[in-house]
């Protein structure tokens, strides 16, 4: 096992879906995978390996924020040989044209975190998605009839940030939404030469705070996003 994941090498597929919430990993395993086997429950960060449409895939929670996803993604890549990682999560809209329940494919992730700056103080090293996965996910989402935005997200360290106005100013420059994990995931993928993509549904809007969703609508959107994530995971 690695330091934070209690699986033996070989128990995790080389393709993994990464929701932030470990209970969503359980939901995905129970509702989408056949023969799902639990490989981790350390810290309640449930991870499963099973079969989706004949392909072996895994799903595991990452927790919230870049420090947490950095631990899990690094161990998955370095200790378990995972080659394709797709984050499926939620984000807050920063753009009046990006509405609650719509999908954002994070082509790039800006960040105010020091995680990347610490390594590259002289460079604005851009955090970008795998174009291969992005291209596949976009067409899969289109085929499912989902309203899909492709562009930049902001990955921030603080949910309760005092930089609300700056986030909105970035929204005016085309940043679609704010979330808390994509930049670190993309950086790890770049460091280790593997594929990563962030897929988010908009759960709330910082520009249209009146936009709301019912629990049922959130569940439907979530289920649709999982389909995009799983189909992209197994696409050739």
Supply the residues annotated as catalytic.
Answer: 204
Instruction: Write down the least CB distance from residue 181 to ligand HPA, Å.
Output: 9
Give the torsion sign (CA, 69, 70, 74, 77). Answer: positive
Residue 36 CB, nearest approach to ligand HPA (Å)? 26
- Does residue 231 have a known ligand-binding role? no
50 vs 63 by CB, closer to ligand HPA: 63
Closest to ligand HPA by CB, 77 vs 183, is: 183
C-beta of 18 vs 91, nearer to ligand HPA: 91
d(CA 235, CA 102): 22
Q: What is the nearest approach in angstroms of ligand HPA to the Cβ of residue 2?
A: 27
Neighbours of 123 (CB within 10 A): 9
Question: Is 33 a residue that touches ligand HPA (CB under 6 A)?
Answer: no
* Three-class secondary structure of residue 81 per DSSP: coil
Q: What SS3 class is residue 157?
A: coil
Q: Say which residue the tokens 């449409």 belong to.
A: 53
CB of 109 to ligand HPA, least distance (A): 12
Report in angstroms the alpha-carbon separations of 197 from 4, 161, 213.
22, 25, 25
The residue number with the shortest CB distance to ligand HPA is 92
**Shortest CA distance to 2 belongs to which of 45, 31, 37?**
45
In the set 63, 92, 171, 198, which binds ligand HPA (CB under 6 A)? 92
What CA–CA distance (Å, rounded) separates 76 from 109? Answer: 21
Using an 8 Å Cβ cutoff, are 29 and 51 in contact?
no
List the one residue from 68, 90, 152, 232 that touches ligand HPA (CB under 6 A): 90
Q: Which stretch binds ligand HPA (CB under 6 A): 25-33, 79-87, 88-96, 122-130?
A: 88-96
How far is the first Cα of the chain from the last one, in angstroms, to the nearest whole number? 29
- Annotated binding-site positions for phosphate: 20, 24, 43, 87-90
Q: Which residues bind ligand HPA (CB under 6 A)?
A: 90-92, 156, 159, 178-180, 203-204, 206
């Amino acid at each position: 096992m690695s330091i934070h994941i209690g699986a033996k090498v070989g128990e995790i597929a080389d393709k993994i879906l990464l929701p932030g919430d470990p209970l969503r990993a359980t939901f995905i395993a129970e509702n989408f995978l056949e023969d799902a086997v639990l490989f981790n429950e350390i810290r309640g960060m449930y991870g499963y390996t099973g079969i989706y449409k004949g392909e072996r895939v895994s799903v595991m929670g990452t927790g919230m924020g870049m420090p947490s996803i950095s631990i899990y993604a690094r161990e998955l890549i370095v200790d378990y040989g995972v080659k394709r990682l797709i984050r499926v999560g939620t984000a807050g809209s920063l753009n009046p044209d990006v509405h609650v329940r719509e999908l954002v494919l994070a082509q790039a992730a800006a960040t105010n975190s020091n995680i990347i700056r610490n390594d590259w103080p002289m460079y604005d090293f851009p955090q970008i998605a795998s174009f291969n996965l992005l291209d596949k996910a976009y067409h899969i989402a289109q085929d499912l009839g989902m309203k899909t935005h492709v562009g930049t997200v902001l990955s921030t360290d603080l949910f309760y940030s005092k930089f609300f106005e700056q986030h909105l100013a970035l929204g005016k420059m085309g940043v679609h939404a704010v979330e808390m994990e994509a930049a670190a995931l993309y950086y790890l993928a770049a460091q280790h030469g593997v594929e990563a993509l962030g897929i988010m549904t908009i759960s709330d809007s910082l520009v249209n705070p009146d936009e709301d969703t019912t629990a049922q609508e959130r569940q439907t959107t979530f289920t649709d996003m999982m389909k995009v994530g799983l189909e992209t995971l197994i696409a050739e």
